[in-house]
Amino acid sequence: MIRTKIDRLNTGQSLRPEELKSLVLLTDPELQRYLREKGRQKAQEHFGNGVYIRGLIEFTNYCANDCYYCGLRRSNRKVRRYRLDRRAILLCCKTGYELGFRTFVLQGGEDQGFQVKEMTGLIEDIRRSYPDCAITLSIGERSAGEYQAYFNAGADRYLLRHETANEEHYRRLHPDRLSLKQRKACLYQLRAIGYQAGTGFMVGSPYQTADHLVADLQFIQELQPQMIGIGPFLPHRDTPFGTFLPGSLSQTLNLIAILRLMHPTALIPATTALGSLVPDGREQGILCGANVVMPNLSPVQVREKYMLYNNKLFSGAEAAEGLRDLEKRLNTIGYRIAYGRGDYQQPHSLQERSTHVI
């Protein structure tokens, strides 16, 4: 019985892989409604009707990697590349702070053009100017030393999606020089250093199967990240995957609900990709258990150059300057913006365990 499985997830029990698979493949409308309602209730229990905001600063679209799905891949010669300097980035933070953001997410391609020293300098500047804010990095695979340097400089959080937890599938999405092993090693390093870590995957990426999604859920269960970002795959015409179909809305929503039940206190964004797939995608994500949105704080003139996929949203409620619009949209579904850093809340079971250790 599917309902029993959902109820078991809802009460903190774990499911066997084939049981998870039946939830990943769920299409029955009644059961999907039941699952999503449980996801929503679980988020409400822990976060009420508050949705955290993070200001996303896309500070460079240069990338040394060549991932087959991503519009910013190195081989895409049509991209006009840009790199924001320190002044421009600090200005984004200032604007964001005034708007009420208390988390800045510095996201970029794997840009070799920024020296480690430059990055640490930048992080130190932000840390000094905004001691009450969280600094999140999302700049891909780096050495352990580099991760440590950024942490020491004041970064708190790091986003690095694993993209897919299946080896073969990973190889179909990435060129040879990238490996799932290395990706996972980075995530464990980030955790060991003390970052709040985020991972995640695309739903409906080319060649993905239900078993791959089960592996994703299992990997996330093992890693226990503080943040989990998922969104539908969306094709970009100037990539090798340009003619593939986008990921499914309903499967993405089901997975948000499943992840919410498996990780009651995690920070789960209703992503830009979800909002780009359908106009009310982010609201639908929140109604299934997502509790974060990441409006765009990048300078307006560079936004269209950060095209991971076609038709990416970057204005209106998606933009930092559209916070009022976002607030209104959240209000219509019974939610509101939660200002504040919104740090990860340790589940009670873990809090107890750590006091025992002390």
Joined together, the tokens standing for residue 292 give: 């974060």
- Choosing from 308, 313, 323, 330, the residue that interacts with ligand 5AD (CB under 6 A) is 308
Structure tokens belonging to residue 315? 């204005």
268 is a site residue for ligand 5AD (CB under 6 A): no
Q: Which of 225, 328, 315 is nearest to 275 (CA)?
A: 315
Rounded Cα–Cα distance for residues 111 and 122 (Å): 15
With beta carbons less than 8 A apart as the criterion, state whether 244 and 208 touch. no
Strands in 50-53's sheet, in edge-to-edge order, are 292-293, 50-53, 336-338
CB of 128 to ligand 5AD, least distance (A): 28
List all residues 6 or more positions away from 1 whose beta carbon is below 8 Å from its beta carbon: none
Q: Give least dist CB 255 to ligand 5AD, A.
A: 14
Distance CA 245, CA 27 (A): 19
Among 32-40, 142-150, 228-236, 316-324, the segment contacting ligand 5AD (CB under 6 A):
228-236
Q: Measure the CA–CA gap between 278 and 231, rounded to whole angstroms.
A: 12
Segment 13 to 72, residues that bind ligand 5AD, using CB under 6 A: 69-70
Question: Which one of residues 96, 154, 198, 231 is an interface residue with ligand 5AD (CB under 6 A)?
Answer: 231
Closest contact distance (angstroms) between CB of 247 and ligand 5AD is 8
Residue among 161, 184, 282, 329 that touches ligand 5AD (CB under 6 A) = 161
Helices (H) then strands (E): counts for the chain: 15, 9
* Residues in 188-227 at the binding interface with ligand 5AD, rule: CB under 6 A: 202
| Residue 274 touching ligand 5AD (CB under 6 A) | no
Q: CB-wise, 31 or 89, nearer to ligand 5AD?
A: 89
> Which positions lie near ligand 5AD, rule CB under 6 A?
69-70, 161, 163, 202, 231, 233-234, 236, 273, 308-309
